[in-house]
Each structure stands twice: as C-alpha cells, then as structure tokens.
Structure 1
Amino acid sequence: MEFTTGGRLEVRITAADTGKRVSVRRLSSSGTPGSLFTDTVGVLTSWDNGVLSITRKGGETVRVEESSLVAGKVVPAAPARRRGPAASFAELALVTARAWQPVESERLGEWTLRAASGFTRRANSALPLGDPGLPLADALVHVRDWYATRDLPAYVQTATGAEGTQESLCAELEQAGWEREVSAEVRIAALAPIADVAADVSRVRLERDVDEAWLSRYQRFGTPGEHVLKVLRSGPSVWFASVPGEGAAPAAIGRCVVDGRWAGFMAVEVDPAHRRRGLATAVMGALARRALDEGASAAWLQVESDNEGARTLYDGLGFATHHGYHHFRSH
C-alpha cells in the first residue's frame, strides 16, 4: 500500500472526505516487536474531536486518534468480483427482503418496519433503504416505539462492503448506543453450475408447501404458529425440498425462492447423523434445477460469518461474497 510522495509519508485526507473509502496508516499500539505501523482500509464515517472512525468491509468500526496518523489517502472502491453475476446492493436488498416477508409492515419514509411475532430477524427488523423522512435520532425513536408496541426488540438491518452500502449508518447506530448482534454475508453465484454439481437428486422431493415433516427438521422456532408458516411461504415462487430419513423427520431439507433472475437458497439443514453424504448438495442441486426451469440464472444466499461448515459448502458451489449484513439492536 503506497502512501508516499517523493519518498515521504503524507496524510492526504481531511474531514471533508467523510463518506469516502480511505486507507490510513497509524503508529501501532500493539507493542509487538517490528510492528511500527498499522494499516486500516474502510469508509471514513466520521472525523470529530481528533478521532477518525473508519468502518471496515465486515462492519467493524476502527477508531483512530488523529495524533497517531502518519499517512492516509482516498482509495477507489473495492474491485468488482471476477466471478458470479453482476448485481447491485440495491437490487439484492430488495430481492432478499422479498424472500422473508413479514406478517405486518409499515413505511417510515424510505425505511420499512417489519414484524412477524419475532420469527427471524430478517422479518422483524427495520430495513433502511434510503431516507426515513425524519432526523435519524427521531427515526430511531419511532423504530423503538413501533417494536415496543408489539413486545419485540428493536432491530435495524444494515449492510457494508459494497457500493451503496451503509457504513455511515452503522457508525451512527453505534454512536447512538445500538449494538451489533449478528453479522452475515450475502453471497451470489451463477445458478447453472449448482444444478450441475449434484449428480444424484432423485431422492429429493420438491413441494410447493411446507408440511409437518419438513418443519420437524427446521428447528428455528418453538411451536410453528401461523406467523412462521406465513413467513416461510412468502415470496414470488417458493419451493420446499426434503430428503426422506429413517424416521418422521427428513434427513435433509431446503427452501428456495425464485424471483425473476434470482433464486435464493435458505433453510438448508441436514440431520447430523446424515452429514458428509452429499445431501445438502443434492438439495441445492434439485432446487437449482427447478429454478432454472422457471427462468432464473443467478443464485443468492445468506450465511452467518461463524458458520464454517456452510461457508465451506458454498465455497465449493462457487458462491462469492457480495456484501455483509448486520442486525443492530437497541438497548
């Protein structure tokens, strides 16, 4: 990372560069021998009272004392991925939201408040795609009150790491005392290779609706009330996959929502006793083939950052990270 002009380190950023992607070098405080400098790349979200806040691609905020800066510059946006379909954050934000539709919603300017009796954060969080029509502090009060009347925690879903994402909003939420609870990745891939990689999908059953057997494997709730069923059934074209097991519960399940050119994969779960037998790949392959039949060409999914098993599976199927998303909770 080059910071020099004529061999000299230079700080070439100011507070006027807030909102831009920057790279800075500061004196290290680690105390590790040989670690004189520490480099940070991210969006400059504030520069106040001698402290810079820089939000990294993964959503973490790094605070840098201005007095420790030895170099800094504005840098271009991260280079585009070299594989997978072209997609903007705005497009994916709407597609992923349509796959987890709430039981009730309300508009707050260009934000959407969503609730589904607490089933999944995605259907029980504010989706801030634009201007809420109020000063942010007032909008957050409205969000808290809206969820409080439903006896639900207040969440705001944000994104980082791509053009047009919400690093500045993440920093403002942190400053307002909201805590980031969950971080995940939105990954995308070409759809056809997923359909091709699973050699045997004959055991996979595809249904238009969810049944009790499928729900018995999808253990993400207590009693599967009507709110759970409504969220799971939501989306333009929904398919449920299952592989019969030895008992009532399937050995593996999955869900796919086809939405124009996109096929979203979710709820892919395998009985621990049947893992490492290719069942997850078979489920995704069968769903991918059906999505291709409906005209889709691109795939997306969401995976939590600490789910190493799922990340390895999706790496093998050609998925690449498009952006990160996070849920901030009010306390």
Structure 2
Amino acid sequence: MEFLAGGRAEVRITHADVGKRVSVRRLTGARAGEPAFTDAVGILTSWNDGVLSITRRSGESVRVEESSLVAAKVVPAAPARRKVPAATVRELQRVAARGWPAIETERLGEWTLRAAIQEAVVGRRVGFTRRANSVLPLGDPGVPLDEALARATRWYADRGLPTLVTVATGRADADERLAAELAARGWSDEAHTSVRIAALAPLADTEADISGVRLSRQPDTDWLTLYNRAGTPTAEARAVLTGGPSVWFARVPAPDGGTAAIGRLVVDGRWAGFAAVETAPGQRRRGLATLVMAALAERALQEGASAAYLQVETDNAGALALYDGLGFVEHHGYHYRRGPAGGAAGS
C-alpha cells in the first residue's frame, strides 16, 4: 500500500472526506524495537472527537484514533459494474439484518433473536417493524426445533412481544423445510415479501436534476413526518433507522415548504440497501421516488458500492411496478411465521 508523497508519508484526508473510500495506516505498537503498523481500507463513515470510523467491505467497522495516524489518502472507487450481482440468500439476509439492526439481540446457535421495543401508547409495548422484532434463522439453532421455538417464545414473551420467525423462500431447501415444520405446528404466515436486487450504476443514470434532493446522516422531523411507520418519533425508532454501517436519509422539499418525498440508504461493502421510499399523496406521479433513488444511488457509488437491494411486500403493486421499471429483479422471498401462542401485536 503506497502512501508516500515526495518521499514521505502524509495524512491526506480531512473531515470533509467523510463518506469517501479511504486507505489509512496507523501505528499500533512496536515489534523487536521497530514500529508496527496496521492498514485499513474502507468508507470513512465518521470522524468525531478524534476517532475515525472506517467501514470495510465486509461491513466490519474499524475505529482509528486520530493520534495514531501515520498516513492516509482517499482511494478512487472501482468502476461500477452494470450487471445484476450474484449473491446467496444467506449473504443478503446478513447484509439486510445489519442494515436494519435490532436494539437487542441474543444468539441461539445460528439463530438470532431480535427486538426493538417502543412504547406505542401508554401501557402497550410493541416492536418497531417486524424485521427488527423477529427470529432470524440462518442455520441450526443448536437444539431440537421444538426446544428452539420454546426458548424463542419465552424470550419474546418476557418482552411482551409475539414470536415471529423470518423464513426465506424460493432458494434454500433448509428454509422451505423450516416453513413446512412451522406450518405443521400451527404457526401462521404473514407479510410475504420480495427481496429484489439490481446493479447500482444504472439507478444513478438519470437526466433529472438531483441537486434538489437533500441528503443527511440523521432523519429530521420533516423526514419522520412522512415516514408512515414512525408515528411520533421514539428513541427506539431512531436507533433502528440510523443503525447500519453507513446510513443516509434523502428528502425532497415540497413547494409549499413540506416534504414531497423521502428515502433511506445503507451502504455495506458492495451492497446499497434502499428502504423507506415514500412520496407524499399530493406529490405522486412526478417521478420523485425515482429521483430519490438516483440521488441515493449516486451517494452509494461514491462510497464504493456496486449492487443494490431492497425489500417490498408482495401486495404493494405500486412499489413493485416502480422497482421493476428501475431494473430490480427478484432474488428470493421471505415471510413471517407467527407463533400460535399469540401475544401483543407486532408491527
């Protein structure tokens, strides 16, 4: 890794380079009397209070003390690929889970129990979205299925939540078997969802002016007002929405001073995940959703991503038509299985 400029190492990045792909070398100690260095390459996600956060392609976040920097530079992104990416179901499941993280998790073998509880109304606790309040089974739970389900049911009952299991469909035999086993035990199905993927570069190819799309690291009040799941913003909702390796929020101001459209992006290595793309009722059929997608795609390309994914419920005909037109194709599906014990309603 070459950092030398004019024969000497230099730190050639500033706070203005947050969001760019960088290469850094830091002093980590001494070996046999000689300095020991460690290199890291990834997206400079933040630089606060003397600490840099760098997100690698794997999604791993590396913290680097500013005082330990020996050399650093911005690394040009590789040319974006224009073909639909290849991916496994498990890869996308893990990426999507990191991009919409629960507040509380617990491992059960290769299963992850996830919860993000918020107070919806006085005396009633609910989960902020099913994705952040369901079991993610990525293999063997390490115990017989009935015991695993019993443990999961107790875990969610302790939190006043129903037990939901996310089950992938359409690709893996193991997931199809799990769906059949849950159905045989009386676990009902709901919220069937399509996971769609696309090459990222074509999404940014537009002749439309995206300069009016405002990007920020945090959702402001106007953004949250249009987002139809949030209701009154809570700390728990914000924690889920802002969680992920490199998160951006897009907002298109309306002519009347309100908000015309919004969207959310999370960049995780080669993947750019799109979510919460909403258009205000009075602003529809103006191409604003496509504009938001283009602005976010451009941001993701700048951070080195090359592939796009999103999740959309199969009964959302309008969204499916939009994403079909943008070149997204179905990779696999998933749905939730709800435990027969019932419990508090999820979201």
Question: What TM-score do you get using the length of structure 1 for normalisation?
Answer: 0.73
Which residue is 1:113 aligned to? 113
Structure 1 residue 197, shift from structure 2 partner: 3.3
CA offsets per residue over residues 62-108 of structure 1, 9 Å max, x none? xxxxxxxxxxxxxxxxxxxxx61111111101001111101100001
Structure 1 residue 298, shift from structure 2 partner: 0.3
- The whole-number CA distance in structure 2 between the counterparts of 1:222 and 1:116 is 15
Match of 1:251, SS state, is strand
Equivalent residue letter for 1:285 = A
- The whole-number CA distance in structure 2 between the counterparts of 1:198 and 1:113 is 44
Equivalent residue letter for 1:189 = A
Structure 1 residue 219, shift from structure 2 partner: 1.9
Which residue is 2:336 aligned to? 327
CA offsets per residue over residues 279-323 of structure 1, 9 Å max, x none? 000000000000000000000000100101000100011000000
Question: What TM-score do you get using the length of structure 2 for normalisation?
Answer: 0.70
Structure 1 residue 248, shift from structure 2 partner: 5.5
Structure 1 residue 141, shift from structure 2 partner: 0.7
Which residue is 1:26 aligned to? none
Equivalent residue letter for 1:106 = E
Which of residues 226, 240, 265 in structure 2 aligns to 1:231? 240
CA offsets per residue over residues 12-42 of structure 1, 9 Å max, x none? xxxxxxxxxxxxxxxxxxxxxxxxxxxxxxx
Structure 1 residue 235, shift from structure 2 partner: 0.5
Structure 1 residue 203, shift from structure 2 partner: 1.3
Which of residues 162, 170, 180 in structure 2 aligns to 1:161? 170
Equivalent residue letter for 2:250 = A
Contact 2:278 2:289 in 1 (8 A): yes
1:94 aligns with 2:94: yes
Match of 2:295, SS state, is helix
Which of residues 215, 221, 228 in structure 2 aligns to 1:206? 215
Which of residues 250, 259, 266 in structure 2 aligns to 1:257? 266
1:33-112 pair list within 5 angstroms? 84-112=84-112
Equivalent residue letter for 1:169 = L
Contact 1:197 1:317 in 2 (8 A): no
- The whole-number CA distance in structure 1 between the counterparts of 2:302 and 2:192 is 33
Structure 1 residue 198, shift from structure 2 partner: 5.6
Q: Give the RMSD, CA atoms, in angstroms.
A: 1.2
CA offsets per residue over residues 212-242 of structure 1, 9 Å max, x none? 1110000203321110000000000000000
1:284 aligns with 2:286: no
Q: Any stretches of 5+ residues in structure 2 without a counterpart?
A: 1-82, 118-126, 341-347
- The whole-number CA distance in structure 2 between the counterparts of 1:155 and 1:267 is 22
